[in-house]
């Protein structure tokens, strides 16, 4: 459980988040939605311990995320940020291998290599593993960075717009995989994603947290939040729904 209690955030004098309180359950996918500039990414960064709240507390599995030792945090929370720039020239295999660093601190063991091989297979990167990351397309790069976060094998996986650069097939595959890994079981991981594709949220998310202007707008099971009424007020535009064999989809009317 990630508990967000009265969290606010100001960056360089401008207020980004105001007094947010919400709980992100360990089981299932939580989708963070909202208009541009609502503070979704900031909230995700706060949950990952990459930013420090100006007020309030974020507790991950009971521990204050800002007080965790750096290494413990990296073994509990993996995060995919939007900025996927690298300082060094790396192959895809090396990049995904860095996901294991919090576990081996520079001395990879056989188990680490196995997880990396699994990650490469899972994200369809095996044929690319010898390529330089900087020569990849945007979508391939996104998959490589997601695979790195996955290889961290953490109980929590936080992804900031993981779908933005993916084609429909990889986007669906990723959501299906996240959904499968977030369900109950010994390997279950809590998954939190920032998405703009409301239908990806409608089809795969269990829980939705909606932000607007840095404030909590709605918080609840996906079916209760993704209604034309709530979405209309959240995005200032009318929404309709349509039932398909895969489930109920929403569209801006």
Partner 1 sequence: MAERRLLLLGLVLLAASAAFLLWNLRGPVGFILTLRATKLAALLLVGLAVGVATVLFQTVAQNRLLTPGIVGFDALFVTLQTGLVLGLGGLGLAQLPALGRFAMEVLLLVLAAQALFGLLLRKGADDVIRMILTGVILGVMLRGVAGLMQRLLDPSEFSVVQQAVFASFGAVDRGLLLIAAGLLAMAMLAALRMASELDVAGLGRVPARTLGLDHDRVVRRSLALVSALVAVSTALVGPVTFLGLIAASLAHALMQTHRHAVLLPAAGLLGALFLVTGQFLFERVLGLQSTLAVLIEFFGGLLFLALILSRRRQ
Using CB under 8 A, list all residues that contact partner 1: 48, 50, 70-75, 78-79, 81, 83, 85-90, 94, 98-99, 101-102, 105-107, 149, 152
CB of 94: closest distance to partner 1 in angstroms?
7
Q: Which is nearer to partner 1, 123 or 145 (by Cβ)?
A: 145
CB of 107: closest distance to partner 1 in angstroms?
8
Block residue for tokens 């919090």: 102
Between CA 146 and CA 178 the distance in angstroms is 11
Radius of gyration of the chain (CA): 18
CB of 50: closest distance to partner 1 in angstroms?
6
Q: Which is nearer to partner 1, 53 or 222 (by Cβ)?
A: 53
Block residue for tokens 């929590």: 156
Q: Which is nearer to partner 1, 31 or 74 (by Cβ)?
A: 74
Q: Which is nearer to partner 1, 132 or 199 (by Cβ)?
A: 132
Q: Which is nearer to partner 1, 30 or 152 (by Cβ)?
A: 152
Between CA 219 and CA 181 the distance in angstroms is 22
CB of 33: closest distance to partner 1 in angstroms?
23
Q: Which is nearer to partner 1, 150 or 239 (by Cβ)?
A: 150
CB of 88: closest distance to partner 1 in angstroms?
4
CB of 102: closest distance to partner 1 in angstroms?
4
């Amino acid at each position: 459980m990630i508990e967000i209690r009265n969290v606010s955030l100001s960056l360089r004098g401008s207020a980004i988040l105001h007094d947010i309180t919400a709980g992100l359950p360990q089981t299932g996918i939580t989708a963070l939605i909202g208009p541009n500039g609502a503070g979704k990414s900031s909230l995700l960064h706060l949950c990952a311990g990459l930013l420090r709240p100006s007020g309030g507390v974020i507790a991950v599995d009971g521990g204050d995320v800002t007080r965790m030792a750096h290494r413990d945090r990296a073994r509990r929370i993996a995060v995919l940020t939007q900025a996927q720039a690298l300082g060094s020239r790396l192959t895809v295999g090396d990049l995904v291998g860095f996901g294991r660093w919090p576990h081996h601190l520079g001395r990879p063991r056989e188990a680490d290599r196995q997880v990396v091989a699994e990650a490469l297979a899972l994200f369809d990167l095996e044929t690319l593993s010898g390529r330089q990351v900087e020569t990849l397309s945007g979508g391939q790069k996104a998959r490589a960075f997601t695979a790195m976060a996955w290889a961290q094998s953490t109980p929590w996986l936080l992804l900031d717009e993981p779908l933005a650069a993916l084609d429909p097939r990889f986007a669906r595959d990723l959501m299906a995989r996240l959904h499968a890994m977030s369900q109950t079981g010994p390997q279950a991981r809590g998954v939190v994603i920032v998405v703009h594709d409301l239908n990806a949220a409608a089809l795969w998310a269990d829980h939705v947290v909606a932000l607007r202007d840095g404030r909590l707008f709605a918080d609840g099971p996906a079916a209760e939040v993704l209604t034309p009424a709530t979405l209309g007020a959240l995005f200032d535009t009318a929404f309709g729904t349509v039932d398909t064999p895969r489930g109920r989809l929403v569209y801006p009317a």
